Each structure stands twice: as C-alpha cells, then as structure tokens.
Structure 1
Amino acid sequence: MHLFSLIGGVGHHQGAWRRPNSRAEGAMTLDYYSDIAALAERGKIDALLMADGLSVNGPRLASASFPHVEPMTMLSALAARTSRIGLVGSVSTTFSEPYNVARQFATLDHISAGRAAWNIVTSGHGELNFGDASLPSHSDRYERADEYLEVVTALWDSWESDAIVLDRANGVYADAAKVHRIDHVGKHFKVEGPLNVPRSPQGRPVLVQAGSSATGRTFAAKHAEVVFTAQQTLAGCQDFYSDIKARVRAEGRDPEKVKVFPGVHPLVGSTEAEALRMEDELRHLIRMDTGMTWLSKQLGGIDISGLDPSKPVPEELLPAVDTVQERRSRYEIFRQLAVEEKYSINRLIEAEVMSAGHLVVVGAPEQIADRFAKWVAEGGADGFMLLPSYLPEGLELIVDGIIPELRRRGLFRSDYTGTTLRDHLGLDPLTGSDRG
C-alpha cells in the first residue's frame, strides 16, 4: 500500500498545540518541518502533503494552531534537506494564475530531482483577500480549474524531453524546434507559452486532488493521479473507490494508474488502552465554544448556537447539498454524520476538532494495521493519507509502530526502490512523446 502524511502546524487535532510538550513555538521554522520530514523519510513514506489556507478564520484562530506557511517556499527548502520522499504542495486554481503555478511546480520538480506533486484545490474561501469579487460558485470554480489544468499541462509539455542539447562546440543550448508555444485561448485564460522552465525530471509533477462531490469526482477522473477522500466506513470507501475507478476508465485512462487514499486519523499507542487514554487527553483539549462556531461553517453556515448540544441537529435545518458553495464535499460528510448516524452536536464538534471529519482509528499498531489491510484487500483504498493528531510525536508513533507492523505483513516497503515520486507510486514518467 501507499502512505502519504499531512504536515502543517503542530498536528491535525486543532487543540494539539496545548499539549505541554508540543513544539508550537517553533512551528514556523525550517528545522521543525525538517525534523518531521526526516521522520517520514525514515519510515519510507511516499510523500508529505502541505495543505494551505488563504485567509485567517477568526473563531478557529482563537483556539487552534494556525501557522499557514506558504507551501512552495517550505517545500523548496525541504527538497534540500531530504532525498527521496515526495513533496506535495496545495495551490488554488481560483486564486492563482496557471503560468506561475506551472513554473513553481516545474522548478520544485527540478530542485527535488523529481519528487514534486501538486494538490489541486479550488478553494471555498479567501476571496476577500483577492479583490472585491464574490466567491465563484462551486461549478464555476471547477470549470475554471478544468481549463487551468489544460493550460498547466500544456506548459509542462511545451518542452520536449530532449530539447536541451548543450552542444558546446557549435554553441547550441537547445533545439528551438522542440520548444513549443501553446497559444491557449479559452474562457478564463489566454496564454502564449512556452514555459520558461525546461521539462522537469518526472515530465510532469504528480497531480493530486481531493473532492467527493459529483463535480469533484468528474474532475479527478479526468486529471488526478492520486485522489484523496474522507469516508467514515469501509462501505463508503468501497463505493467511492469503485466510482472513481469507473469514471477514470470512462475517461480512457488506466484505473491502476490512479490511486485512491482515504484520510485516516490514527491514534496509536503501544496498547489499545494507551491509545484510548491519548484520545481522552485530546478530547479534553477541545474548546467547545469555538468548536461550535466552526461546526456551523461545516454545516453550511446554519445557526446552531441555540440548540441543545447533547442532541442531533434537526434535519430540517440542514441545507440541500447542491446549495452549499463552500467545502461541499466536507459538508456532505458532516450532514451524513448528523442525519444518518444521529451524532449529537457535541460529537460533531469532536469530529471536526479532532479530525475535520476524517475517520479516527484508535488502537495498538496491530489493530490499526488490521484496519488498513482490510480496506486495501476489500477494494476500499490503494493506500492512506495519514493525519497525525500531533506532530512530530504522532508521526513518530506511526513510523515506529504502525509501519513496522505493515512491513511484517508484507504490505509496505522496507526501502525506496526508486528516486522519484512517480517511482514510489508505480506511475510512468511522462516524456516528450506525451505532448498533447
């Protein structure tokens, strides 16, 4: 199986910074992130994902660690302090331009010797920091993203793989006939090209995407090579997995070359009792007042302040899925927990603060490895996006606990067998002949 790990702040649990031995004071430093990257690389994890946000959420800032370092800057620095692990940066197609993004990821791929990946996000907030226009609708954001990917991939392909000849005797640096303008003219973009960065080691950085809405799944099937999802059950994962693979096949792509990773929040201890104690400790670090405010955003913006927190949210208060414009796929998860699972408001707040709606798996390494093995064997996943509760300790427990157990079962690598992220994922490099 494949394993990615999220890095950022002091962990995925919003209250993890309150732990006495957290490294919250240094969570903006290169040394802090380097320590995390070294841990993950020691575990032979496929890649690190650095998520991003483009605004400050006031209620969440009041109680949660919120150090959004700019991903491309930090990942470029980590490229120099690591040698094999993949580096995945989140960049929005709504609030950036394709030429700049194509340059950034091509450059990261060069300086990391082929370990770059782009986590494509369409952004559900942040518009107030980018002019006075309102946030585009969910469908419009994906329409723009679709054309955006057309431009970026054309720019990456604008240099054929053998365009640089370095003929010193005759003074020829590159064969100009193998560097092509793209002359893109579309609804959202007009880009001449070619890119001013030569073709990178992987041909193209790996494309990663998360989105469980119907529109997001269509987009993923067309473009993505790694697809993240948030599911609470094996049945949910199996449904998502089979749907994505079918959509990929319908696009004329090889389903084996598109990997599906559910996000999992592992709380691991040397024993189940130890893991349960840690879960209880983290539960007591939740501020329910600010959690209530953030949960209301996850529930489509409804006012839940006057409701009994020990009871479920009345279904009639919840908006229809297709009317929600921000974080629609995440809304669907919380709506399902509220309506189908009858979670109380307090329990929904715990799900938001502890794991942002991802599955929480608590137990000893053997128990968590059992769950991982079952989901892969039964068609629910190709691997997992790990969301450590607290960093770097939580990742260390995964690397020294869960991963050795997976290796013992022959389910995870003992060492890297290639040098690029495409090597790790079993994806073919894209050469100049892949120009489309």
Structure 2
Amino acid sequence: MSEQVHLALALERAGWHPAAWREASARTHELTSPRYWRELLRTADDAGVALATIEDALALPDRFESAGALRRDRVRGRLDAVLIASFAAALTRRIGLVPTVTTAHPEPFHVATAIQTLDFASRGRAGVRLVAGAPAAERANFGRRATGVDAFPASGRVEDSPEILAAFREAGEFAEVLSRLWDSWQDDAIIRDAATGRFLDADRVHNIEFEGEFFSITGASIVPRSPQGRPLITVLAHQTVPYRLAAEHADLVFVTPHDDAGVASIRSELDAAARDLRDGQRLRVFADLLVLVEDTAPAARAAAERLDGWEGAPLASDARIVVGTPRDVADAVLQLAAAGVDGVRLRPARQPADVVAVAEQVVPLLRAAGALRTDDGSSSLRDRLDLARPESRYAREKVAL
C-alpha cells in the first residue's frame, strides 16, 4: 500500500485560473450567493476532503497589482472568508473550515474571537490561514499605514526586503496573540453552579499580558475555550523566513514543491526549524497542486489553452500545475505522498468544475490506491489530523507555580 495523505481543497471564487469565470460551467451570477459556497463545501465534505481553505483579500486588486490599472477582465469582489466558513459550519459535517485572514489590518483580538466562534459553530472544525503583508491597495482601504509590502524584491529573497521581514515579524506576533487568547480561558473556567450563584471561576480566566513590537494586549478573550482548545493555525510558506514562522507558530504549513527533491529540501528545512522552535508537536506539511481536470488529456489541454487565450498569457503559479485527467492528478498526489508530505491541497483551476472532478473522479482513484487517510469519525479537525489538543498554557503555568 502507498503512503497515505490527507486531501485538502483551496477555494477561490471562480477558481485559480484568472479567466475561469468565462467558462460555460462557471456560475458567475452565484459567486456571492450562499448556495454556491454551500454546494462547493458540501461536495468536498461528502467526498471526504479533510479541510478546505477559503481565500480572502482586503482590496479589489490582486496582490501586487496596480490599483490604478485595474483589469476589468478578472473577477472582482468577494465575500468575507470567515463569514463564509461560519455560514457553512452548520451545513457541513466533517470538513475542516479554514478561512484566510491577513495579519496586517484586523486586530488579533477580533480574529481570535471570530475563529473561536467558528470552532463552536462547526463543533471543532475551525482553523485560520494567516497571510502577512500590507500591499498599497489594502493600506489605502484602511488609512493607518504609510508603508508596507508593495513588491517582491528583485532578488526573490524575502531576507532582502525589510518591509517583508517586518510583515513576518508582525504575523508571528499575531499568531502568538491568537494562541494566548485562545488559551486565556481554562477548560473548566465555567462552573454553572446555580445553587451557589457561581457561573464562572474567575481564577481560571487569565489576562494574556502580551507586549511586543506590533501589539500590546492585556485582556482575555470574550469567548470561552473552544472545542479544539486552539483552532488550527496554518500558513503558506515558500522560503526560510516563512518556514520559520510556520515552525514556530503554525500547526500546518502549505508548501509548493515542484518535484521530489523540492519536497525533501523543504521538509529538511522545516524539520530543522521545528527542532529549534517546537516542543515536540510535529508540524504537518501539505503540498499544493493547481489542477485542471478533464476526462482526456487533449480535452484538458484544450481547456487550459482556451483559458490562457482569454487571459492573454499562460497560467502561472507558485504551485506545480497539473493539467490532465483524473488519473494524472491522482498520480501527482501519489508522488507527493511517496515523497513524504502529510497532505496535498488541490487548488481547482475552475470552480465548480474541478471541485466536482476531484470529488467524483480523483478521490475514488486515490481511495482505490489506498492513498487517503481514512476518516475515523474523530470529533475535531485536530483529531482528524492527529494533532494533540493543547492544554491552556496558563493552566500549565499555574501548576508549575
């Protein structure tokens, strides 16, 4: 039997190809409808997909796209990812719900309480994908920052941009504050003793007392400790600096290897960082693939060429692109499984077409190959990914005293 992996989906409006909305199968008039998102997530849920991330952004232009030359031939506008996940929580059964949140503009307190609430609404299936940086169009929408991340350095190295380095330091503090707020209530803080009139044991609710470079926070969360204790923190990482952010603060990291050597190199760097920064809990590593799926290879190539023609350029991505049959996609997943990742996140080029193809054709092939981890009915996303439920750090500190 092959190595087994979890399967995830990354959902992005009409799909990851910028011209996907022009496909006949696209449901362009429904991109902002509850039914569209409900059906996408239910399709993935029914197929046994372990989790779905939901993309988000805080400006109309794409990241690093000029606001002054806004292309009119791409999807513009979106629904809030946290609210999509919250809506879907009661309409899905097993799938993890992981909305994307930028760390540059929202307050970590607001994000912490929103994700805790999602964890309650989904009965323990919540996570968050953190994105660092503040491009110009986002800064203009908030009016609180004069500078931010406006471009990637010409060298391609994160280390060569002071602005990007600052953005990742801020993201690290953001993640730390989330974790502390989620820990601020111990599991047994609520007593509910009507006879004595004690609803709460105030000694089991803790002010987090965080003082950092970007945030200074004293209080506790307004939401009691949620089903998972701490919902999952996830990040997408390509280089050493974000790898270190993942190793220090995340439960799961999405990476973008293009071959087996890339997987080995990334795992080696992540494992080295994790040895320095983690206390025994192994970081889960999911590899990304952007997929376009048709019944035959010629049909898949023709679909890709049609989309590229509408866009005016070939599709480019940080992730490896697989254009082909369900078997081609399944083989790519099997290759990544053999290379040693914990999971594979598929980015559908077209929605809903490629989501349906994954659910109805790719997943059965992977199951037949014994490549997918079985859903044992565990009660939470942490359990499903074999991640321990952490104890509140403040309970540990109290015991240590």
TM bracket (short chain): 0.7 to 0.9
1:145 matched residue in structure 2: 171
Following superposition, the deviation at residue 191 of structure 1 comes to 1.2
Letter in 2 for 1:367: D
Question: RMSD across aligned C-alpha pairs, in angstroms?
Answer: 1.9
SS across alignment from 2:330:
helix
Q: 1:365 to 1:71 in 2, by over 3 A?
A: same
Any residues of structure 2 matched to 1:290-301 within 5 Å, and which? none
Which moved further from structure 2: 224-233 or 33-42? 224-233
Alignment pair present for 1:375 and 2:336: yes
- Among 116, 133, 138, the alignment partner of 2:146 is 133
- Among 358, 361, 364, the alignment partner of 1:401 is 361
Aligned residues: 370
Following superposition, the deviation at residue 241 of structure 1 comes to 2.0
SS across alignment from 2:214:
coil
Task: Write the deviation string for residues 308-337 of structure 1: whole angstroms up to 9, x where unpaired.
Answer: xxxxxxxxxxxxxxxxxxxxxxxxxxxxxx
Letter in 1 for 2:324: G
1:115 matched residue in structure 2: 125
Equivalents in 2 of 1:230, 1:168: separation in Å? Answer: 54
Kept in 2, the 8 Å contact 1:117–1:208? The answer is yes
Task: Write the deviation string for residues 337-376 of structure 1: whole angstroms up to 9, x where unpaired.
Answer: xxxxxxxxxxxx4133xxx332111332233222211222
Any residues of structure 2 matched to 1:49-60 within 5 Å, and which? 49-57=53-61, 58=67, 59=69
Following superposition, the deviation at residue 61 of structure 1 comes to 4.1
Any residues of structure 2 matched to 1:388-427 within 5 Å, and which? 388-413=348-373, 415=375, 417-427=377-387
Task: Write the deviation string for residues 197-231 of structure 1: whole angstroms up to 9, x where unpaired.
Answer: 10000000101001223211111110111111223
SS across alignment from 1:398:
helix
Task: Write the deviation string for residues 236-270 of structure 1: whole angstroms up to 9, x where unpaired.
Answer: 22211221122112223446x31212210122223
Give TM-score, length-normalised by structure 2: 0.87
SS across alignment from 2:348:
coil
Kept in 1, the 8 Å contact 2:252–2:286? The answer is yes
Letter in 2 for 1:49: T
Following superposition, the deviation at residue 116 of structure 1 comes to 0.7
Which moved further from structure 2: 61-70 or 75-84? 61-70
Equivalents in 1 of 2:118, 2:278: separation in Å? Answer: 29
Task: Write the deviation string for residues 255-289 of structure 1: whole angstroms up to 9, x where unpaired.
Answer: 6x312122101222233333333333333332x2x
Kept in 1, the 8 Å contact 2:176–2:249? The answer is no
1:269 matched residue in structure 2: 294
SS across alignment from 1:148:
helix
2:76 matched residue in structure 1: 66
Letter in 1 for 2:296: T
Kept in 2, the 8 Å contact 1:118–1:207? The answer is yes
Kept in 2, the 8 Å contact 1:8–1:67? The answer is no
SS across alignment from 1:74:
helix
- Among 91, 104, 111, the alignment partner of 2:101 is 91
Any residues of structure 2 matched to 1:21-420 within 5 Å, and which? 21-57=25-61, 58=67, 59=69, 61-125=71-135, 126-131=138-143, 132-135=145-148, 137-254=163-280, 257-286=282-311, 288=312, 349-352=313-316, 356-379=317-340, 381-413=341-373, 415=375, 417-420=377-380
1:323 matched residue in structure 2: none
Task: Write the deviation string for residues 48-91 of structure 1: whole angstroms up to 9, x where unpaired.
Answer: 11111111125564121133211111111111211211110111
Task: Write the deviation string for residues 136-170 of structure 1: whole angstroms up to 9, x where unpaired.
Answer: 61111112222222222111111001111211222
Letter in 1 for 2:167: R
Equivalents in 2 of 1:227, 1:178: separation in Å? Answer: 32
2:155 matched residue in structure 1: none
Structure 2 unaligned residues grouped into runs of 5+: 62-66, 150-162
Give TM-score, length-normalised by structure 1: 0.80
Kept in 2, the 8 Å contact 1:84–1:416? The answer is no
Letter in 1 for 2:380: T
- Among 14, 22, 30, the alignment partner of 2:18 is 14
Kept in 1, the 8 Å contact 2:292–2:350? The answer is no
Equivalents in 2 of 1:386, 1:75: separation in Å? Answer: 18
Equivalents in 1 of 2:111, 2:307: separation in Å? Answer: 37
Letter in 2 for 1:277: A
Equivalents in 2 of 1:119, 1:416: separation in Å? Answer: 25
